Amino acid sequence: MKRTLLSAVAGFALVLGVSAGAHAKTLVYCSEGSPEGFNPGLYTAGTTFDASSRTIFNRLVEFKLGTTEIRPGLAESWDVSDDGLTYTFHLRHGVKFHNKPDFTPSRDFNADDVVFSFERQLKADHPYHGVSSGTYEYFEGMGMPDLLKSIEKVDDYTVRFTLDAPEAPFLADLAMDFASIFSKEQADQYMAAGTPEMLDQNPSGTGPFVLVDYQKDAVIRYNANAEYWEGKAKIDKLVFAITPDASVRYAKLVAGECQIMPYPNPADVKGMQANPALTVQEQQGLNVGYLAFNTEKKPFDNKLVRQALNYAINKQAILDAVFQGAGEAAKNPIPPTMWSYNDAVQDYAYDPEKAKQLLAEAGYPDGFDTDIWAMPVQRPYNPNAQRMAELIQADWAAVGVNAEIVSFEWAEYLDRSKKGEHQTVLLGWTGDNGDPDNFLNQLLGCDAAESGGNRARWCDPAFDDLIIQAKRTSDQAARTDLYEKAQVVFKEEAPWVTVAHSVVFMPMRKEVTGYIMDPLGTHQFYSVDLE
């Protein structure tokens, strides 16, 4: 029924004026995969977010595109109470939800929509909670159920969030995809019709693009939202042509079948840069690839050993062989695009002699036997863990440390390393919300050492005090100071070898203008124009 209506409308539009259609600016994006669905709260994949939260929806606060800073979104402004427990949001007036063939909004966006969008995920007895076998992994993963005490509608344009504990990254959390705002009116309409799951397949948002049609594994179509509160996008239509293979995306880009693509093969980037029809943007990814020492096990409980093995590694050789130009050496656990990155920190230089000396000092003049766990999968922060492990193995052998390379199937790898079965393990992290807490606390805090997310199982009171204090402080300058200090402690104690931050490339045709890369890794087309 929906499709028939749509095609009738499309047919009508065709009859009315083919010339108008020819002038419509259509941007075709060769996307890398299929979205799991169109409710970003139910999923955790970036591919899904590109197709849902970053096109169809808005949030109370948004990341300023190209940065990890927070700016107003559906909330025009907000107040935080002095104890950091109450956040009051003042909502924007006159924001329209999308008109859909089966849904015509009768009112503007208001506080009911905000309360609905959060309570669905928070309250197990909410009528929408179990719809689409609802599991809200990001909401859970960011600790919202423990953090959120209540969400109240104060009046139509004011919403108050009360927290159980002060949490400075909370604002950044609200800019994340899972916090997208749905239309309560549409939800009620689908519930009344007995088809609540339609809300997750055909949602009406407030965002810059209106979802028109999705053909599984093939194509997603959007129209620009003419009533968008920040003004209509410069393009009229947006098409995601789902193209899983990177070489084929490249071919489509060259043939002009799409104008922009993500995730090129690193080996193709040189050719793309040389092609006069294309431009290639690049940016550091919001990620880090690392090798963690299991500090609970001997000899890695000894700081000197950890420092020695840092000195023993030739990082540049790894970057050349494994990243092939698509990576840069990491010295801190957070990437340089993130605020509070401490550029004053000195990395351990490649110095095998110094390494041997430190090992002798630590009581291991003849080295020792250990293992290196290497991931079985390709990740953004580590395109080839096996190769990386081999290079580290050779570097360590040169200072007398014999390491065996170990690998498991991915899920098992994660599980076993979480339990601390490794001696040293290769892994990495991609940021969720641009807040340093998301790296430093989740990967290196004492709580994480207990739950296993901290693969070094490293619990340093000096470091932990700093990051906990920063988490409870809402003043960003004060937080920056604390995080900078924490990074110094981290480097000195050396629970990791910080290996690399990846570089992300975004090839596009010359006619595409105004595309801005997002350090958080999403792909957004609101700012794009075609010449």
Partner 1 sequence: MLRFFLTKLAGLIPTFFGVTLLTFAMIRLIPGDPIEILAGERGITPERHAALMKQYGFDRPLLEQYVFYIGGVLEGDLGKSLVTKKPVLGEFLQLFPATIELAFCAIVFALVIGLPVGIFAGVNRGRPADHTVMALSLTGFSMPIFWWGLLLIILFSVNLGWTPVSGRLDFAYFIDPITNFMLIDTLLSDEQGAFLDALHHLVLPAIVLGTIPLAVIARMTRSSMLEVLSEDYIRTARAKGLSPLRVVGLHALRNALIPVVTVIGLQVGTLLAGAILTETIFSWPGIGKWLVDSISRRDYPSVQGGVLLVALVIMTVNLIVDLLYGLINPRIRHAR
Q: Helix (H, G, I), strand (E, B), or coil: what is residue 500?
A: strand
Binding mask 40-69 for partner 1 (x = CB under 8 A): --x-x-------------------------
Backbone angles phi, psi at 426, to 5 degrees: -90, 130
CB of 131 to partner 1, least distance (A): 9
CB 373 within 8 A of CB 406: yes
In the chain, the amino acid numbered 264 is P
Q: Which stretch binds partner 1 (CB under 8 A): 2-10, 271-279, 354-362, 393-401?
A: 2-10
| Binding status of residue 257 toward partner 1 by CB under 8 A | yes
In angstroms, the Cα distances linking 329 to 93, 133, 187, 365, 394 are 46, 42, 48, 29, 19
Which residue in 127, 120, 172, 169 sits closest to 145, CA to CA? Answer: 120
Q: Tell me the residue ranges of DSSP E strands in 250-320.
A: 278-284, 287-293
Q: Tell how far CA 170 is from the center of its chain.
A: 16
The one among 79, 412, 447, 475 contacting partner 1 by CB under 8 A = 412
Burial zone of 309 (CB within 10 Å; 0-12 exposed, 13-18 middle, 19+ buried): buried
Q: Measured between alpha carbons, how far is 468 from 477 in angstroms, rounded to an integer? A: 15
Report long-range pairs for 98-102 (Cβ below 8 Å, ≥24 apart): 98/56, 98/204, 98/205, 98/206, 98/210, 98/211, 98/225, 99/204, 99/210, 100/186, 100/202, 100/204, 100/210, 101/2, 101/5, 101/6, 101/9, 102/1, 102/2, 102/5, 102/202
Structure tokens at 441: 């606390």
- Adjacent-strand bridge partners of 371: 404
Question: Binding marks (x or -) toward partner 1, 424..443, rule CB under 8 A?
Answer: ---xxxx-------------
Q: Using the rule CB under 8 A, which residue among 10, 345, 398, 489 binds partner 1?
A: 10
At closest approach, how far in Å is the CB of 111 from partner 1? 29
Are 388 and 378 spatial neighbours (Cβ–Cβ below 8 Å)?
Answer: no
Q: Taking CB under 8 A as the rule, does residue 217 contact partner 1? A: yes
Number of residues lying near partner 1 (CB under 8 A) = 55
The distance of closest approach from Cβ of residue 346 to partner 1 in the complex, given in angstroms and rounded to an integer, is: 28
**Neighbour count for residue 149 (Cβ, 10 Å):** 12
> Is residue 419 within the footprint of partner 1 (CB under 8 A)?
no
- State yes or no: residue 122 binds partner 1 (CB under 8 A): no
User: Which is nearest to 242 in space by CA: 494, 35, 523, 455?
Assistant: 35
Nearer to partner 1, 243 or 370 (CB): 243
For partner 1, the closer CB: 249 or 523: 249
Query: Pattern of binders to partner 1 over 346-365, x per CB under 8 A?
Result: --------------------
Structure tokens at 478: 């004060």
Q: Which stretch binds partner 1 (CB under 8 A): 82-90, 249-257, 340-348, 399-407?
A: 249-257
Binding string, residues 124-163; x marks residues near partner 1 by CB under 8 A: --------xx-x-x--xx----------------------
Nearer to partner 1 among residue 427 and residue 440 (C-beta): 427
In the shown chain, the binding pattern of residues 368 to 387 toward partner 1, with x for contact by CB under 8 A and - for none, equals -----------x--------
| Span near partner 1 by CB under 8 A; candidates 34-42, 388-396, 459-467, 509-517 | 34-42
Q: Which is nearer to partner 1, 402 or 451 (CB)?
A: 451
271 near partner 1, judged by CB under 8 A: no
**Alpha-carbon distance 468 to 466, whole Å?**
6
Nearer Cβ to partner 1 (156/268): 268
Position 244 contacts partner 1 (CB under 8 A): yes
243 part of the interface to partner 1, by CB under 8 A? yes
CA angle 397, 402, 407 (to 5 degrees): 110
Binding piece for partner 1, criterion CB under 8 A, among 64-72, 89-97, 403-411, 515-523: 403-411
Count of positions (residues) in the chain: 531
59, 221, 501, 509: which one binds partner 1 (CB under 8 A): 221
Sheet holding 26-29, edge to edge: 26-29, 237-241, 219-224, 209-215
Q: Which of 91, 171, 199, 242 binds partner 1 (CB under 8 A)?
A: 242
Selected binder of partner 1 within 77, 104, 215, 402 (CB under 8 A): 215
Q: Is 389 helix (H, G, I), strand (E, B) or coil?
A: helix
Q: Which is nearer to partner 1, 83 or 140 (CB)?
A: 140
Q: Which one of 163, 210, 239, 326 is in contact with partner 1 (CB under 8 A)? A: 239
In angstroms, the CA 60 to CA 180 distance is: 8
Binding region for partner 1 (CB under 8 A): 3-4, 6-7, 10-11, 28, 36-37, 42, 44, 132-133, 135, 137, 140-141, 197, 200, 213, 215-219, 221, 239, 241-245, 247-248, 251-252, 254-255, 257, 379, 408-412, 414-415, 418, 427-430, 451-453
